[in-house]
């Protein structure tokens, strides 16, 4: 059993939890993920590791309440336990050797962008972070990002916080102002990553995206997380979750992601109403 050591509500739908999982914490790297089950009969959900502390033996997860299982998870409190917490899974992000990087986070995807920015900062890279949210109430991890970024730009769709506009507007402004990046790393909604990649492709800047499709076993056996990358079938759980964004078929990924939306809404209503 995996105890919840700390719980913090970051915004109305996003929650942070620190889970006691010493074996996972000892091996975790930015970019990797875990699969958890809230209880014995629970659905497995993959969550990218948001932070980890090998000394304390804890792993931090940040999740958005989008369906029945995340609602159940969000209802748990400090001192309660998760039934399963398996990981670290997936390939760690390749961050060594990068000198100057733009890290882009969208919405709750910013939680996954944070350990990447932190690791780059620890490796001595110049980190420019751009994070985007729908409005002021949804902004998360501002202080954490500020501590590990040489430049931090916060965007909001409605202009209620930071600058008004999309993350792609801010990125294009920086590129046009002469900033030269070894790499752009984008983590967030598929539509955001798609348009970041379109932009960077036009400027010839290598771009890595973190894909978080439906996952079931997390070991490359079930095929649930398959994606098309460079015309080839890849499994996000073992080949990723990081991929060359210019090769990802985002339209196909969005279509697959929408397949279970009605089912998920139905389950959520049954669980929460
Ligand atoms: Fe089953 Fe990746 S989750 S193949």
User: Which of 163-167, 217-221, 222-226 holds the top average pLDDT?
Assistant: 163-167
Between CA 32 and CA 89 the distance in angstroms is 6
Asked which of 89, 112, 145 is the last residue of a domain, the reply is 89
Mutation test residue for ligand 1: of 224, 233, 240, 257, the one with most atoms within 8 Å of CB: 224
Structural domain includes residue 41: yes
pLDDT in tens, 132-183: 999 999 999 999 999 999 999 999 999 999 999 999 999 999 999 999 999 9
Average pLDDT, the chain: 90
Neighbouring CB atoms inside 10 A of 22's CB total 14
Is a pLDDT exceeding 50 seen at residue 271?
no
pLDDT of residue 142: 94
Indicate if 30 and 133 belong to the same structural domain: no
- Our CA angle for 98, 101, 107, nearest 5°, is 135
92, 238 in Cβ contact below 8 A?
Answer: no
Indicate if 113 and 145 belong to the same structural domain: yes
pLDDT in tens, 41-53: 888 888 889 899 9
Between CA 189 and CA 107 the distance in angstroms is 8
Between CA 144 and CA 150 the distance in angstroms is 12
Indicate if 133 and 74 belong to the same structural domain: no
Structural domain includes residue 63: yes
Give the number of domains in the chain: 2
Is a pLDDT exceeding 80 seen at residue 95?
yes
- Domain assignment of residue 8, given as a range: 2-89
pLDDT of residue 133: 94
Q: Which of 18-27, 35-44, 114-123, 203-212 has the least mean pLDDT?
A: 35-44
Structural domain includes residue 112: yes
Q: 37 C-alpha to center of ligand 1: Å?
A: 16
Q: What are phi and psi of 133, to 5 degrees?
A: -140, 160
How does residue 268 score in pLDDT terms, banded at 50, 70 and 90?
very low
* Alpha carbon separation from 92 to 34, 210, 234 (Å, rounded): 12, 11, 16
Q: 256 C-alpha to center of ligand 1: Å?
A: 14
Residue numbers in the known binding site for [2Fe-2S] cluster are 222, 225, 237
Interface predicted TM-score of the whole assembly (ipTM), two decimals: 0.98
How does residue 202 score in pLDDT terms, banded at 50, 70 and 90?
very high
Is a pLDDT exceeding 70 seen at residue 264?
no
pLDDT in tens, 231-258: 999 999 889 889 999 999 999 998 886 6
Orientation angle between helical segments 167-176 and 190-203, nearest 10 degrees? 20
Indicate if 163 and 77 belong to the same structural domain: no
Please name every residue paired with 62 in a beta bridge, in sequence order, or none if there are none: 16
CATH number of residue 79's parent domain: 2.40.30.10
127, 121 in Cβ contact below 8 A?
Answer: yes
Q: Which residue has the higher pLDDT, 214 or 229?
A: 229
Ligand 1, CB cutoff 6 Å, lining residues: 215-218, 220-225, 235, 237
């Amino acid at each position: 059993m995996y105890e919840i050591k700390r719980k913090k509500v970051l915004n109305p739908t996003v929650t942070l939890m620190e889970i006691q999982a010493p074996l996972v914490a000892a091996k975790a790297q930015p970019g990797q993920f875990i699969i958890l089950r809230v209880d014995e009969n629970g659905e497995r959900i993959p969550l990218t590791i948001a932070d980890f502390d090998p000394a304390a033996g804890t792993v931090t997860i940040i999740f958005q309440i989008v369906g029945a299982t995340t609602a159940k998870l969000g209802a748990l409190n400090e001192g309660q336990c998760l039934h399963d917490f398996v990981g670290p899974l997936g390939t760690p992000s390749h961050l060594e050797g990068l000198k100057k990087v733009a890290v882009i986070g969208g919405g709750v995807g910013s939680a996954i962008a944070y350990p990447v920015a932190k690791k780059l900062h620890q490796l001595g890279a110049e980190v420019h972070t751009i994070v985007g949210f729908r409005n002021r109430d949804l902004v998360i991890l501002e202080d954490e990002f500020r501590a590990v970024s040489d430049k931090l730009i916060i965007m909001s769709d409605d202009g209620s916080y930071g600058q008004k506009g999309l993350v792609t507007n801010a990125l294009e402004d920086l590129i046009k102002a002469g900033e030269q990046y070894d790499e752009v790393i984008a983590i967030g909604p598929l539509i955001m990553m798609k348009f970041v990649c379109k932009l960077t492709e036009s400027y010839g800047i290598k771009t890595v995206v973190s894909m978080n499709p439906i996952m079931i076993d997390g070991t490359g056996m079930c095929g649930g997380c398959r994606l098309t990358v460079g015309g080839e079938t890849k499994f996000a759980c073992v080949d990723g979750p990081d991929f060359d964004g210019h090769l990802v078929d985002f339209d196909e990924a969005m279509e697959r992601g929408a397949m279970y939306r009605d089912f998920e809404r139905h389950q959520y209503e049954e669980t929460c109403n």
